[in-house]
Amino acid sequence: MMYTVNKKDFMRTVSFDIHHNGKEWVAHNDEITVTGETLDELDENIKLKLKKILSEGRVKVTMELDYRRNVPHWIWQYHPYYFYRTIFLDLD
């Protein structure tokens, strides 16, 4: 699992790339793929998936838009990123 533990407050961090496939949002990393029709649904599905894997605790989830899948190639030079999302989840 790709996560780090912040020793100061013992919060795990899990990172995802995110894109929209035309029907739903897809968050993925090397080990996990989660989908949701809305960002709220995606957040809830990420929480459910991480609860199965990590069981408990507080988790910081970072998501970076994979602009290569969503932004036309000609505009990449003007927008090196599109958006970042961060959510905090209590798995207890």
pLDDT tens string 52-68: 998 888 999 999 887 66
Q: What is the pTM of this model?
A: 0.77
Beta-sheet pairing, 11-20 with 25-28: antiparallel
Tokens of 42: 């995606």
Report whether pLDDT(6) > 80: no
- Cα separation, 66 vs 13, whole angstroms: 19
Q: Mean pLDDT across the chain, nearest whole number?
A: 83
Return the residue matching tokens 């899990």.
Answer: 14
Structural domain boundaries in the chain: 3-90
